[in-house]
Amino acid sequence: MMLEESIRILAMQEEILQFSHFTNEDAWELGNLMVAEAARNHLPVSISIRMNSGYTVFQYGFKGTNCGNELWMTRKQNLVRTVEMSSLRFFMLLKKNQETLEEHGLNSQEYAARGGGFPIRVAGAGVIGSVIVSGLDHMADHEFAAACISQYLRIDGIPRLPVNF
């Protein structure tokens, strides 16, 4: 699949997977859905739902995850909060344009342009937070997050990248 097509699919996912509202209760329900899906699929992931203020409203780590996953999630969340798009889409844009984080004024110690950070976009309000996954290949981290958000919002048939988790 060409980079342009992947970028288009990721942008469509972000456009389609918008919330009408997002509360702490929504974070709890979405987070628990993600934990159940990860357990069902035996995925050794860390899951975090964070608001743009930095407040963590949900977090869970399966056996085998550690502080390294926490650091990855923080760096992915920093990127989503700053660029207001999925960390995987920004990764693809950098690759397409042959650019680096540093060329965008972003320090790679604080920001991660790798898949797994998905924006929580509320219709009429914009990006208010992030759903973050760490523990798989970064493409699978993204796919898992997008699939779970799609399931939570009861939106079937979203465009997908050819990645399995």
Supply the pLDDT for residue 164.
80
* pLDDT for the residue numbered 156: 94
Q: Is residue 159 part of a domain?
A: no
Q: Does 142 fall in a domain? A: yes
Q: What is the pLDDT of residue 138?
A: 97
90 within domain boundaries: yes
Q: Which tens digits make up the pLDDT trace of 102-148?
A: 999 999 999 999 999 999 999 999 999 999 999 999 999 999 999 99
Q: Give the bridge partners for 122, in sequence order.
A: 19, 126
88 domain residue, yes or no? yes
Within a domain: 164 = no
- The answer to the question of residue 161 being in a domain is no
Is residue 147 situated within a structural domain?
Answer: yes
* Confidence band for 101, pLDDT divided at 50, 70 and 90: very high
Look at residue 165 in the predicted model and tell me its pLDDT. 76
pLDDT at residue 1, rounded to an integer: 67
Q: What is the largest CA-CA distance in the chain?
A: 41
User: Is 13 within 8 Å of 158 (Cβ atoms)?
Assistant: yes
CATH of the domain at 120: 3.30.450.150
89: tokens are: 């889409």
Please provide residue 117's backbone torsions phi and psi, each rounded to the nearest 5 degrees. Answer: -110, 120
Torsion of CA 148, 42, 87, 9, to 10 degrees: -50
Domain extent for 30: 3-153
> How many domains is the chain built from?
1
pLDDT value, residue 72:
98
For residue 126, being part of any structural domain is answered with yes
